[in-house]
Amino acid sequence: MNTLSDAWSWLTSAAHWSGENGIWHRLGEHLWLTALCLVLSCLIALPVALVLGHLGKGGTLAVNISNVGRAVPTFAILVLLLLTPLGKYGEGPTIVALILFAVPPLLTNAYVGMREVDRDVVRAARGMGMTGRQLLLRVEVPLALPLILTGVRIAAVQLVATATLAALAGGGGLGRIITAGFNLASTPQVVAGAVLVAVFALVVEGIFEAVQRFAPQWARGGSG
């Protein structure tokens, strides 16, 4: 109980919220890293997945890349990138690592979503004389949207977690509050940082839940 009240007083002390190492600054870094890398990974993964799904090619790759991503420790990739020449460029290794771990869920879910579009619907659209591009943009993508959005949600939560770990390898973000707490042997600061990270992750997950729940029916699909 004592640690919890200490963590609470750490969180509520104004000095811990301002400045270079303050909570606001770290939160801003975390938000910026997550949002930037989510956009970048969507730009990389979604076009590839949509085209592969449309053509029905590269399925083994698109589906197995998630399993590969799970077997490779995030922490190892962060440190490996830090030791490459890329490590000289500030947040460079963090951004590359974040994208590497956000791409697999995006790719897999979007690809599976595209392939699960009812083949009868696709044939009907072809029969109506739709071109490949029309078929892709007007039929397949709208029908695959629920799974594409699920992929985006998984990627976002993954990004928040990876951005936290980046603090271990010297990156910014809320994880820095935790690592600084460990270095100072200050359990209240470690717990306070952990609470901030956990709340941040749950809020991100919650926002995506809400978006999926209140989206128009066709964007939700059967199970969401």
Give the binding site for other proteins (CB under 8 A). 3-4, 67, 70-77, 79-80, 82-83, 157, 160-161, 164-165, 167-169, 175, 178-179, 181-182, 187, 190-191, 193-195, 197-198, 201-202, 205
Q: What is the nearest approach in angstroms of other proteins to the Cβ of residue 174?
A: 8
Nearest-angstrom CA–CA distance, 146 and 126 = 23
Nearest-angstrom CA–CA distance, 222 and 118 = 13
Q: What is the nearest approach in angstroms of other proteins to the Cβ of residue 217?
A: 23
Please say which residue, 41 or 162, places its beta carbon nearer to other proteins: 162
Q: What is the nearest approach in angstroms of other proteins to the Cβ of residue 13?
A: 19
Q: What is the nearest approach in angstroms of other proteins to the Cβ of residue 51?
A: 28
Q: Is the dihedral of CA 43, 173, 78, 160 positive or negative?
A: negative
Please say which residue, 113 or 181, places its beta carbon nearer to other proteins: 181
CA-based R_g, the chain, Å: 21
Q: How far is CA 176 from CA 166, 196, 223, in A?
A: 9, 11, 37
Please say which residue, 110 or 163, places its beta carbon nearer to other proteins: 163
Nearest-angstrom CA–CA distance, 105 and 97 = 14
Nearest-angstrom CA–CA distance, 104 and 20 = 33
Please say which residue, 116 or 205, places its beta carbon nearer to other proteins: 205
Q: What is the nearest approach in angstroms of other proteins to the Cβ of residue 25?
A: 18
**Pair of tokens at residue 173:** 């973000």
Please say which residue, 39 or 68, places its beta carbon nearer to other proteins: 68
Q: What is the nearest approach in angstroms of other proteins to the Cβ of residue 163?
A: 8
**Pair of tokens at residue 124:** 């009907």
Residue 155 burial by Cβ neighbours in a 10 Å radius (0-12, 13-18, 19+): buried
14 secondary structure, DSSP code = G
Please say which residue, 53 or 105, places its beta carbon nearer to other proteins: 105
